[in-house]
Amino acid sequence: MSPGPTPIPPEVSAAGALPIIHHRTPEFGEVFTRVNENLKRVFLTENDIFTYAASGTGAFEGAIQNLFSPGDKVLVVNNGNFGNRWVKMSRAFGLEAIELKYDWGVKADNDEIADTLAREPGIKAAVCVLSETSTGTVNDIEGFARATEDVVTIIDAVSGIGACPLRTDEWGVDVVVAGSQKALMTPPGLGFVSVSERAMRMHEESRMPRFYFDWTAAKKAYAKTPPQTPWTPAVSIIIQLDIALQQLLAEGLEEVFQRHILLGRASRAGIKGMGLKLFGPDEDLNSAVTAAWVPDGMDSKALVRLMFREHGIQVAGGQGPMEGRIFRIGHCGYFDSYDIIATIAAAELALESLDYPIELGNGVGAAQRVFSKSGVTA
């Protein structure tokens, strides 16, 4: 129950044990063709999606190298650990990052973003995180894309893709960065980037040094029949991703979003039911991660440790300024109602062990009620 790496379906585990096939064979070509088509269905885009043997941070670094020239101006929303990372990374690459900072747990203000773009000439692109994993808060990306329609938009969807709706083409998002290890139900090791035609045009102007992540090299290799990667792909993880994407699409993408909404709703109800306070807005948008304050005087690291040691349930603590103060339940990916019910039950027992006065079952009952009302029990 941590927000990544997440559990994977048994069929995806089993696929990882298959013999390695060579990546320039018709057999791998068949898998890779299907993976590319299915990724587009999940990213809700017709744009090219390049897959790298890297984590999400690598794919993001590639996006910076491919889009910008040193000194370019980029607007970056920072309302958590990952927004903060993209500010730091932009500066590391010599960009002028205009940082729009919000308190952790607070959603980006798209009106303020539009005003900043209108006031600051020369901004070439705008960055925002879909699901800010460090807080559980999901930004309104449809509104963000509207507010930034005159510049290239870059969305970090590492924990959001496959959990929270991201209608890439419908909303006009140019670049989406993601990773394999969260809602895509695949082991860590793959980074993805989808690239619109407008972003490709910006890429053609950019003068940042690059090699491994070069989109021109990727585009040339993907244009072959069957599509290829310019360098050796992570064959086994791509074969695993193939199974995971087929499972996701068999469930139905909209159904997957609905399941995540329910998991989020039940988690929030469980947290409130056990008398704790939510961290961040109490809304259905937050369907990937649920964060909560621990009671005053308690260290969330103790709660996280106890839940794992005594109950075998791995939730996450707080990051950065929230270290020790909040805990986070990840529910992006291969999770169902009983995962949430068991997590809330373990949290109640662990809180009691830490001498927090609690009526056992109140949180569990509140979570169960969400599923019972929805008719979903598995």
Site residues, ligand PLP (CB under 6 A):
4, 55-57, 82, 129, 133, 156, 158-159, 179
Give least dist CB 61 to ligand PLP, A: 9
| Residue 136 vs 270, nearer CB to ligand PLP | 136
Which CB, 123 or 316, lies closer to ligand PLP?
Answer: 316
Label the pairing between strands 96-101 and 73-78: parallel
Of 4 and 280, which has the nearer Cβ to ligand PLP? 4
Closest CA to 273 of 358, 378, 342: 358
Smallest gap from residue 8 Cβ to ligand PLP (A): 15
Query: Least Å distance between CB 136 and ligand PLP?
Result: 11
Min dist CB 40 to ligand PLP, Å, is 21
- State in angstroms the smallest separation of the CB of 350 from ligand PLP: 24
Which is closer to ligand PLP, CB of 187 or CB of 273? Answer: 187
Q: Which helix (H) or strand (E) holds 239?
A: helix 235-251
**Dihedral in degrees, nearest 10, Cα atoms 212, 215, 217, 220:** 150
208 contact partners, CB below 8 Å, separation of at least 6:
64, 65, 66, 67, 68, 69, 70, 93
Nearer to ligand PLP, 109 or 156 (CB): 156
- Report, in Å, the least distance between residue 192 CB and ligand PLP: 10
Smaller CB separation from ligand PLP, 28 or 102: 102
Burial pattern 187-215, b for ≥16 Cβ within 10 A else e, equals: bebbbbbbbbeebbebbeebebebeebbb
Q: Which is nearer to ligand PLP, 133 or 300 (CB)?
A: 133
C-beta of 33: minimal distance to ligand PLP in Å? 25
DSSP string, 94-148: T-EEEEEE--TTPPP-HHHHHHHHHHSTTEEEEEEESEETTTTEE--HHHHHHHT
Q: Give me the DSSP letters along 280-342.
A: S--STT--SEEEEEPPTT--HHHHHHHHHHHH----EE--GGGTTTEEEEE-SSS--HHHHHH
